[in-house]
Amino acid sequence: MKPLAKRAYLIKPSPTLSLEAKAKAMRKNGIDVISFSAGEPDFDTADGIKGAAIEAINSGFTKYTPSSGIDELRQVVAENLAKNHGLYYKPDEVLISCGAKHSLYNISMALFEDGDEVIIPSPYWVTYPEQIFLSGATPVFIETHQEDDFLLRPEDLEAIINKKTKGLILNTPSNPVGSAYDISHLEQIAEIAVKHNIYVISDETYGDIVYDGFKQVSIASLNKEIFKITIVVTGVSKSYAMTGWRIGYAAGPKDIINAMGNIQSQSTSNPASISQKAALEALKGGYQDFITMMVERFDRRRKYIVERLNRIEGFTCFTPKGSFYVFPNISGILGKRFSNHVIDSSVRFAEYLLNEAKVAAVPGEAFGAPGYMRLSYATSMENIEKGLDRIEKAIKYFK
């Protein structure tokens, strides 16, 4: 057999999805696993949204749609971006895709190629480097630090930019850390991006899930110059608990959106017609109470989990400003022993937790941050309590 294409060897499967699959398989075999690996809200999609999808099916709205999405949905996305973020796009500057992940993929395909460099602050969401690799470009990482609230230092950004730099991916609020940029920090980053004319891909997927009165600002809204070189990406997955419906979107300069639309038209065509109607219902308004309820529940869990993690010897945990993850630094337990094994990395620790304590959490290596671990609190308070009890107990056996 001839070899596969090089890119097939380059690409890694999503470690977060595979860990969740492993935890599910263990559960199927009757093992009581507590999973902190979920990347999705543990709430059901609201009934009204489901109703819109059922109506779409019953009324025969089950055929191809325009490949960049139905006009009404592009329109409502544009209106919401204007109302909520002061971002003024025309409907044809909006592309509806099969999830924000798909929008991001289309961006990579439309903008990046061999020889380009794309800057990704780390810790990063697992998909960014893989999509950049697929485009032929090279991801360039800039490490962020706990003492800076895991935010990109403007001077680090400026220092790494060179002739090959074509883009910067900014994720706020972030997965895996829950860090989020305030306006003055964004202004400094925008100034550098404009000065060097590099594209900014602003992934605002968790924009509605923020705490302590944090105000989510889109970098694209700061001034005309940055608006022209930014592509904003978000979707309905996290805000409306609609991960399985696969609707995300991107908004940006018309030429880029057109190119992305062409790529989409030759790969997936339109996102599911039924899901588009459901997303339309969600975005038309009327579900703010649902989002508020969900964020309040996440917030209670966030406070609890951060407090407890910080009490564990060897752990320190940043208090997230948004999203539904915590990312404790666990380096204080590395090097410890359990029977004959040395826990010498977060990967080892995650394996140990899954096998011995029946707790699933994602090691920091997956996000470019060894010595850390990601725990999602998109799971019930009962699970969180039980899972943390198990982690505490498991560590007691370390020598």
Ligand X SMILES: Cc1ncc(COP(=O)(O)O)c(C=O)c1O
261 binds ligand X (CB under 6 A): no
Binding mask 159-188 for ligand X (x = CB under 6 A): ------------x---x-------------
Q: Is 20 in the site for ligand X (CB under 6 A)?
A: no
Within 34-93, the residues that bind ligand X by CB under 6 A are 39
Q: Coil, helix or strand for 326? A: strand
Closest distance between ligand X and the C-beta of residue 100, in Å?
Answer: 3
Q: Which is nearer to ligand X, 177 or 343 (CB)?
A: 177
Work out whether 100 is an interface residue with ligand X (CB under 6 A).
yes
Three-state secondary structure of 52-103? HHHHHHHCCCCCCCCCCCCHHHHHHHHHHHHHHHCCCCCHHHEEEECCHHHH
Contact (CB, 8 A) for 361 and 379: no
Of 298-327, binders to ligand X (CB under 6 A) are none
Site residue total, ligand X (CB under 6 A): 13
Complex with ligand X: residue 93 or 203, whichever CB lies closer: 203
First and final CA of the chain: distance in angstroms? Answer: 50
Q: Which of 235, 261, 271, 364 binds ligand X (CB under 6 A)?
A: 235
Q: Is 105 in the site for ligand X (CB under 6 A)?
A: no
Taking the complex as a whole, the smallest distance from the CB of residue 227 to ligand X amounts, in Å, to 21
For ligand X, give the closer residue by CB, 373 or 395.
373
Of 203, 209, 279, 281, which one interacts with ligand X (CB under 6 A)? 203
Q: Contact between 205 and ligand X (CB under 6 A)?
A: yes
Residue number with CB closer to ligand X (207 or 395) = 207
- Using CB atoms within 10 Å of the CB of residue 55, give its burial: 0 to 12 exposed, 13 to 18 middle, 19+ buried: middle
Determine what percent of the chain falls in helix, strand and coil, rounding each to the nearest 5. 45, 15, 40
Indicate which single residue of 23, 37, 94, 101 sits in contact with ligand X (rule: CB under 6 A).
101
Dihedrals phi, psi of 329, to nearest 5 degrees: -85, 120
Residue 332, judged by CB atoms within 10 A of its CB (0-12, 13-18, 19+), counts as: middle
Give the integer Cα–Cα distance in Å for 119 and 88.
26
- Give the shortest CB-236-to-ligand X separation in angstroms: 7
Least Å distance between CB 125 and ligand X?
A: 4
Q: Nearest to ligand X by Cβ — which residue?
A: 99
Give the span between the Cα atoms of 166 and 132, in whole angstroms: 11
Reduced to 3 states, what is the DSSP secondary structure of residue 133?
helix
User: Least distance (Å) from ligand X to the CB of residue 20?
Assistant: 11
Sign of the alpha-carbon dihedral angle for 303, 304, 308, 311: positive
Adjacent-strand bridge partners of 167: 118, 199
Please identify, among the stretches 99-107, 185-193, 194-202, 259-267, the one whose residues bind ligand X according to the rule CB under 6 A: 99-107
Closest CA to 363 of 15, 114, 124, 8: 15
**Contact positions toward ligand X, by CB under 6 A?**
39, 99-101, 125, 171, 175, 203, 205, 235, 237, 243, 248
